[in-house]
Structure 1
Amino acid sequence: MYTAAMNIFSGMDTGIPNYSCKTSGPLGAVIEGISADQSIEFSSLSRIYHYPQISYISGNLVMSDTVKFPYFYRTVPSELHLCAGIVKVLKHFGWTWVGILASNDENSMRAVQILKKEIEQSGGCIEFIETFSQSTLLFLQNIDNISNTIITSSTKVIILYCNRDYTEHIRYTNILEAPGKVWIITAEWLFIIPSYNVNRKNTLAFTVGRKNIPSFHKFVREVNPALFPSDLLIETWWKDLCNHQCPKSIQRSCSSDETSDYLLHCDIVNSANSYNVYSAVYALAHALHDMISSRSGNTNPWSGESESVLGFVPWKLHRYLRNLHFKTVLGEDIFFDENGDLTIGYDIINSVFLPNGTRSNDIVGSYNPYAPLEEDFTINERAIMWEDLFSQAPPQSRCSPSCLPGFRKLTREGKALCCYDCIRCSEGEVSNQTDMDTCITCPEDQWPNQKRDACIPKVITFLSYEESLGITLTFIIIFFFLITAVTLGIFINYQGTPIVKANNRGLSYILLISLMLCFLCSLIFIGRPEKVTCILRQIVFGITFSISLSSVLAKTITVVMAFQAIKPGNKLRKWMGSRVSNSIVFSCSLLQTLLCLIWLCTAPPFPYLNMRSETGTILIECNEGSIVAFYCVLGYLGFLAGTSFIVALLARNLPDSFNEAKYITFSMLVFCSVWVSFIPTYLSTKGKYMVAVEIFAILASSAGLLGCIFLPKCYIILLRPERNSRKYLTKT
């Protein structure tokens, strides 16, 4: 390489450093098509002499460094863009599980690291990275391991990254023939150089964007080989154009002894390299034209030719190459970017060997890093031919199947991020896209649907009059209300009879009316909770029940006082009027009213949307506000009931044929049993059933008072009138 470079710079077959013996004009620049490694070696000499170097093959990543390679230009994109294009293809098809086979040269290893980083950043994973050497011996030693890795791998997509120098090894192996694999290739020479096996399919290759050079095919077809007598390959190339499989535009009509089955040169003519050479030559020509024109100061570039040629200094040409900008006859803008790379992109080729032995290299997409963001990548899936082994087209390459909406990914311990299990979203969470890493928590007023792929509004629920439970409770309430009203009517109708007069007739009326209100207050607990109804529920319930229990307590005290007052000389006789009993009812009820007012002034009950109590529902319920006040009200009712129970229990054996204390004892026993069992039941239920439990407690305790105290009296009034006499009541 160094000898050849010195020969070019000196102009002699035997290059002598720093010596020039040119019989023609001065050397302006070097256009080369050597490999990446050789291009770097050549550049180490050319930059000493400041000669521009234009490559039409090397996309070496390292050579984009303008500090190390200030005089290097190329008519191909940097392979950094090639890596980005490969990642674009992987993302388009959703291929997240890939393998990489690469040559072990410095450029390919650097590209593999870039590929690995970009694939992982885009959510993909690499199953394996296999490398091979340019050394034939080392390659043959490792070929079995490479082949076994490819065949046994679970990935369906393999990236082959190598330059032209390494394709000689690959094309004579069966590596590319592994079934059920899609190959993404970065070396166009794998298409140009024939393979022993013509069944290769599912190959996508990145090639430098090509254009049809005007009149180029005509030139190839009609050029006379005699013009190049010193080139030994011309005869072979000329004969190759006789092959009937060559494109019609360059195919020659030849005699039978000239025919050839070798397609190498037919493919070279149609390869992107031809257009790259064309671009390199015209770029240099335009740069020289601009330089000479500026030196001569004349619109005719050759008017000052002698002066320009004699005063030519190679490094001055860089200014014009850097600022180069012209349009080709195809209307394409040609200019170099800040790294000395031509601003062109890649074509994506789908190479398929057809049953008739011909090969189809169709352009199915493109990637241009210099195009606008939304227009830089295109691909036509319908134009790609896939192998019949694939169950679907395009094939899928994933370590794990996609997690459908409603599921999330759970990475397997010790495995790559792309290897995961799909688990269903937790309660209250959804995933509305495939392959979500985490599920989304629904808003509080929404809940996942059955598939857990969307949030839907929660069902609003409360104890309503329309549902069966509400209707049943309403009928029970009305039934007991009517029973109480009938009982009150009976007592009013028979108010003059001894049994009604006994134990204070006025207290009986107050008790029956308060029980009617207790039954009616249960209706406030049914229906949609509002601010007013939430306040009325507990307040009306607390006050009406305190009136009922105060009346029961007053009746119990009246019984005790009545038996004590009949004793001679007892001073309680003067307290036997209705004033004392009414005072007991009033004072006890007033104290409960004060407790309720304090409750309203501090933390009154309010409607509350309970979104967490029941799955998928919004419970509209009344929050007690102050739980302390709520239990104080209940505790006060319990105190009244307990006091009445104790007093009635002590007076139950007083001599009388109709001792009301016995019935009060039973009624208080029922009342206390209901409310003692109510508290744990109330705390263990949720939503509308909590309300139903409270209604049941109100109805059961009220019905207990009604039944135990008034049912025996109604029985005597209606069915045993002979016992409703003063004589019978006073009988011991």
Structure 2
Amino acid sequence: YEMLLFALVFIAILIRAEEPTCERWGHAHPPLFMKKGDYMLLFSLYSLIQRLEDFQIAATMMFTIDEINNRRDILPNISLGYRIYDSCGSTRTAVRSALELMSNAEGNFSESCLRSSVHAIVGHSASSPTIAIARAVGPFHVPLISYSASCECLSNRQDFPTFFRTIPSDYYQSRALAQLVKQFGWTWVGTIRTDTDYGNNGMATFLYVAQQEGICIEYSELIHYANPREKFLKVVEVIKMSTSKVIVAFTFDFDLNVLIKELLQQNVTGLQWIGSEAWISSRAIATKENFRVLGGAIGFAVRNSAIPGLKEYILNIHPSQVSNDYTNLSVLRINYNMYKAVYALAHSVDNLYKCQEGLGPFFNNTLHLQYIYFDKNGDPVARYELVNWQINKEGLVQYIPVGLYDASLPKGHQFILNSSSIIWAGNQVPKSICSDSCPAGTRKAAQKGKPICCFDCVPCSEGEINNITDSVECMKCPLDYRSNKEKDACVLKDIEFLSYAEIISLVLEAFSFFGASTTTAVMVVFYKHKETPIVKANNSELSFLLLFALTLCFLCSLAFIGEPTQWSCMLRHTAFGISFVLCISCVLGKTIVVLMAFRATLPGNNIMKWFGPTQQRLTVCTFTAIQVLICTLWLSISPPSPIRNMKYFTEKIILECDIGSGIAFYSVLGYIGFLSVLCFVLAFLARKLPDNFNEAKFITFSMLTFCAVWVTFIPAYISSPGKYTVAVEIFAILASSFGLLSCIFVPKCYIILFRPENNSKKHLMDYFLNCSCPCG
């Protein structure tokens, strides 16, 4: 209001100033309607000739001025006049009329160039002509107030300092349209706009807000009623080829009407149209035929309001009482904006005349008019009705209110929607998305070369979950958790170890006890027949020690079964290492004794005195003590310990024993391997001893079996996952133990138990009597 009042004051000062003379260029077109008054208003319309709606708005202005002139509380003894011009849809004509009529309309060239014979301009109805008029009259400080130009660009006070309007800025409408689209979950829409400042600026704001709301635009097409038909056919083809079911149209009714005719000819129906206020409540486009395409359309319209006395005034002007677009006063949205615009100017002039020095019409530096409020940009409060195109029983299109938008309300409460009252284009809420929502357990993966609304749903990887719809990434589960089958929740991982209750464990336990029992039985047999030649000849002391070591080997495999603990991890590796070294040491001792005993039979060879029982015990103890030392250092420096292995499997945790010191572990295994190879080599050297004296041959077979088992154990150990690694290790222990037991003791037990005739001194002595000795 301040700028509006200042403009009027500035004109009054200019009238009283000394002014130069000037000439007017050209001649103004005569007004269609004119009324003289103390204050003249210029009113410019889009096309009075082609549009009855515009003629009705002109009549509304005349009615409003007559109403004000007949009042005594506003502008007493002062009359308002008007000149109403038809721009015929031409921006150039509208600007020319405004500039020409700001000078003396009667052609008095002695008047000042700075004097305006028109004190204020009401109009234009469209944004582009209004922008041109505002730029032209701005330097003359002539107030310009529009009832229908809604382009956001007109809110720029630097470019348009004297512009005001009674229609809300498209700044709010564009955002409200984006919220409406988001409200119904439409993320894949097409857009159509009129190729004017109104359409281009309004759609630019919509696209910006839509992008922030996650809405993608499949296409964005321009239309203008003056375009050739080929351009409209191209737009129709784009619409037909599209996959989106919603079209946001920011256009004028006369532009859209040309497109609708082409859509009707090609029977393109069933799409949901979202409209701006310029066409959504226009009677010029709301025909029964157009309803085939636009039926169910929704959009924001300026709020409707009744104007008392206008209907009688309209009917008095029109000689016919038959209802038509001119006499149809059911919708007075733009008319009411015109009504408010004229009253705003009237109150401004009234306040100017009532101004008292020192008091003025201002209060706290603001101008209070009784009828309408303008903000600092000359805009009113943005209030819209959300209307829905429905058809009644008589076949007439109706604009049914289904919601409200009030920008003055707090954020989150500005939009009120009654979706149950909406009649949709396809009789149900349309689904307009590029890709279906990604359910829980999946994530969105953008499709190459397409907008973000087009995506594929990729299942979350193992160990990842997503319990949010349309999430772009999956979340990793904590280390102790895994993803469930649906990949929408983390569950505790299964704990895996070789438990006692498993079938494979029961089998291994059975073989372990069977081996230990068999070894004990052999020990009993040997003990009962310890005086027989075959037991004596096979070094009974080392045989019993070997049987004891084999028993330990069979039983140490049990330490590998069950949940790993600190003690079981230390026991299983050290017991295994020491037991096997004791076994191999005994076998090695027996091998040396066998080999040296054969050599001792040669004349003059006294070597056996160096391999008596004491030396044999010392050899076994020395070899075993070295392994005990390695194990002691291992347990002291970095002992084996239980760990939770989460690297091998993502869905379960493997409880296993970490070896601790790798050097110590491989030293234990390497030492066993060294003794085994040494024993095998020595036994191999004695392999050609006669059959009756076959200890070296049996030792060779036992070492061959032992080495073969542990060589094949390595790849099996590496390739066996989880608890099966432990099972393979137990199997190797049992297999090598059974190999030693079978190859060394089973033949002797067979002779002792089933061939006692061979278990005699005579049988053994026959060898020495019948053999062909190497010495000849």
Is TM (by shorter chain) over 0.5?
Answer: yes
> Residue 206 of structure 2 corresponds to which residue in structure 1?
115
2:189·2:218 contact (CA, 8 Å) conserved in 1?
Answer: yes
1:715 lines up with 2:750 in the alignment: yes
Say which of 459, 465, 474 aligns to 2:494: 459
> Residue 202 of structure 1 corresponds to which residue in structure 2?
296
1:510 lines up with 2:545 in the alignment: yes
Say which of 545, 563, 585 aligns to 2:620: 585
> Residue 477 of structure 1 corresponds to which residue in structure 2?
512
The Cα offsets for residues 252-290 of structure 1, whole Å up to 9 and x where unpaired, read as xxxxxx342548733433x3x355456656766777788
The Cα offsets for residues 313-347 of structure 1, whole Å up to 9 and x where unpaired, read as xxxx8x7798457998xxxxx75444332232433
TM-score where L is the length of structure 1: 0.81
> Residue 148 of structure 2 corresponds to which residue in structure 1?
57
Q: Report the Cα offset of residue 153 of structure 1.
A: 2.5
Evaluate the alpha carbon distance shift between residue 11 and residue 621 of structure 1 in structure 2; reply closer, same or farther with a 3 A threshold: farther
> Residue 348 of structure 1 corresponds to which residue in structure 2?
386
Aligned residue runs from structure 1 range 39-54, under 5 A: 39-54=130-145
Q: Report the Cα offset of residue 626 of structure 1.
A: 4.0
2:148 aligns to what SS in structure 1?
Answer: coil
- How many equivalent pairs are there? 666
Q: Report the Cα offset of residue 609 of structure 1.
A: 2.7
> Residue 236 of structure 2 corresponds to which residue in structure 1?
147
Q: Report the Cα offset of residue 484 of structure 1.
A: 1.8
The Cα offsets for residues 234-268 of structure 1, whole Å up to 9 and x where unpaired, read as 447797xxxxxxxxxxxxxxxxxx34254873343
Measured in 2, the distance between the counterparts of 1:553 and 1:692 equals: 28
Measured in 1, the distance between the counterparts of 2:196 and 2:170 equals: 14
1:72 lines up with 2:163 in the alignment: yes
Measured in 1, the distance between the counterparts of 2:447 and 2:548 equals: 72
Evaluate the alpha carbon distance shift between residue 414 and residue 655 of structure 1 in structure 2; reply closer, same or farther with a 3 A threshold: closer
Measured in 1, the distance between the counterparts of 2:589 and 2:319 equals: 129
Of 479-488 and 594-603, deviating more is 594-603
Measured in 2, the distance between the counterparts of 1:585 and 1:264 equals: 124
Of 550-559 and 497-506, deviating more is 497-506
Measured in 2, the distance between the counterparts of 1:13 and 1:461 equals: 104
Evaluate the alpha carbon distance shift between residue 102 and residue 21 of structure 1 in structure 2; reply closer, same or farther with a 3 A threshold: closer
Aligned residue runs from structure 1 range 510-549, under 5 A: 510-549=545-584
The Cα offsets for residues 210-242 of structure 1, whole Å up to 9 and x where unpaired, read as 37x5xx46x248x643xxxxxxx5447797xxx
Q: Report the Cα offset of residue 57 of structure 1.
A: 2.0
Of 149-158 and 580-589, deviating more is 149-158
1:57 aligns to what SS in structure 2?
Answer: coil
1:127 lines up with 2:162 in the alignment: no
Aligned residue runs from structure 1 range 551-566, under 5 A: 551-566=586-601
Q: Report the Cα offset of residue 483 of structure 1.
A: 1.7
> Residue 266 of structure 1 corresponds to which residue in structure 2?
329
Evaluate the alpha carbon distance shift between residue 562 and residue 386 of structure 1 in structure 2; reply closer, same or farther with a 3 A threshold: same
Aligned residue runs from structure 1 range 293-312, under 5 A: 295=356
Measured in 1, the distance between the counterparts of 2:355 and 2:568 equals: 96
Of 398-407 and 663-672, deviating more is 398-407
Counterpart code for 2:233:
D
> Residue 7 of structure 2 corresponds to which residue in structure 1?
none
1:341 aligns to what SS in structure 2?
Answer: coil
Evaluate the alpha carbon distance shift between residue 576 and residue 40 of structure 1 in structure 2; reply closer, same or farther with a 3 A threshold: closer
2:385·2:403 contact (CA, 8 Å) conserved in 1?
Answer: yes
1:545 aligns to what SS in structure 2?
Answer: helix
1:184 lines up with 2:274 in the alignment: yes
Measured in 2, the distance between the counterparts of 1:80 and 1:294 equals: 35
The Cα offsets for residues 551-588 of structure 1, whole Å up to 9 and x where unpaired, read as 11111112223333454543434334322111111111
Measured in 2, the distance between the counterparts of 1:504 and 1:607 equals: 42
> Residue 410 of structure 2 corresponds to which residue in structure 1?
372
Measured in 1, the distance between the counterparts of 2:517 and 2:327 equals: 108
The Cα offsets for residues 523-542 of structure 1, whole Å up to 9 and x where unpaired, read as 12112223332232222211
Say which of 251, 261, 265 aligns to 1:162: 251
1:648 aligns to what SS in structure 2?
Answer: helix
Counterpart code for 1:180:
G
1:83 lines up with 2:83 in the alignment: no
Aligned residue runs from structure 1 range 608-627, under 5 A: 608-614=643-649, 616-627=651-662
Aligned residue runs from structure 1 range 362-441, under 5 A: 362-388=400-426, 393-441=428-476
1:565·1:573 contact (CA, 8 Å) conserved in 2?
Answer: yes
Counterpart code for 1:187:
E
2:634 aligns to what SS in structure 1?
Answer: helix
> Residue 731 of structure 1 corresponds to which residue in structure 2?
766
Measured in 1, the distance between the counterparts of 2:570 and 2:354 equals: 98
1:527 aligns to what SS in structure 2?
Answer: coil
Evaluate the alpha carbon distance shift between residue 184 and residue 520 of structure 1 in structure 2; reply closer, same or farther with a 3 A threshold: same
Q: Report the Cα offset of residue 713 of structure 1.
A: 2.4
Measured in 2, the distance between the counterparts of 1:167 and 1:266 equals: 23
Q: Report the Cα offset of residue 692 of structure 1.
A: 0.9
Counterpart code for 2:328:
H
1:464 aligns to what SS in structure 2?
Answer: coil
Measured in 1, the distance between the counterparts of 2:583 and 2:318 equals: 118
1:287·1:320 contact (CA, 8 Å) conserved in 2?
Answer: no
Counterpart code for 2:236:
S
Measured in 2, the distance between the counterparts of 1:263 and 1:479 equals: 111
Evaluate the alpha carbon distance shift between residue 602 and residue 285 of structure 1 in structure 2; reply closer, same or farther with a 3 A threshold: farther
1:56·1:276 contact (CA, 8 Å) conserved in 2?
Answer: yes
Measured in 1, the distance between the counterparts of 2:722 and 2:326 equals: 83
Counterpart code for 1:260:
S
Counterpart code for 2:194:
S
The Cα offsets for residues 406-434 of structure 1, whole Å up to 9 and x where unpaired, read as 44444444444444444444555444444
Measured in 2, the distance between the counterparts of 1:279 and 1:510 equals: 117
Measured in 1, the distance between the counterparts of 2:525 and 2:590 equals: 19
Measured in 2, the distance between the counterparts of 1:494 and 1:531 equals: 43
Measured in 2, the distance between the counterparts of 1:425 and 1:537 equals: 40
Measured in 1, the distance between the counterparts of 2:397 and 2:184 equals: 24
- Flag structure 1 segments of 5+ consecutive residues without an equivalent: 226-232, 240-257, 299-307, 309-316, 329-333
1:266 aligns to what SS in structure 2?
Answer: coil
The Cα offsets for residues 136-192 of structure 1, whole Å up to 9 and x where unpaired, read as xx2545333323332332221111112467466467664697312111111344433
1:619 aligns to what SS in structure 2?
Answer: strand
1:324·1:335 contact (CA, 8 Å) conserved in 2?
Answer: no
1:471 aligns to what SS in structure 2?
Answer: helix
Q: Report the Cα offset of residue 79 of structure 1.
A: 1.4
> Residue 250 of structure 1 corresponds to which residue in structure 2?
none
Measured in 2, the distance between the counterparts of 1:327 and 1:575 equals: 131
Measured in 2, the distance between the counterparts of 1:327 and 1:157 equals: 42
Measured in 1, the distance between the counterparts of 2:594 and 2:681 equals: 13
Counterpart code for 1:153:
S
2:443·2:458 contact (CA, 8 Å) conserved in 1?
Answer: yes
1:206 aligns to what SS in structure 2?
Answer: strand
1:34 lines up with 2:125 in the alignment: yes
Q: Report the Cα offset of residue 639 of structure 1.
A: 1.2
Q: Report the Cα offset of residue 670 of structure 1.
A: 0.8
> Residue 191 of structure 2 corresponds to which residue in structure 1?
100
Counterpart code for 2:301:
T
Say which of 631, 635, 638 aligns to 2:666: 631
2:402 aligns to what SS in structure 1?
Answer: strand
Counterpart code for 2:717:
Y
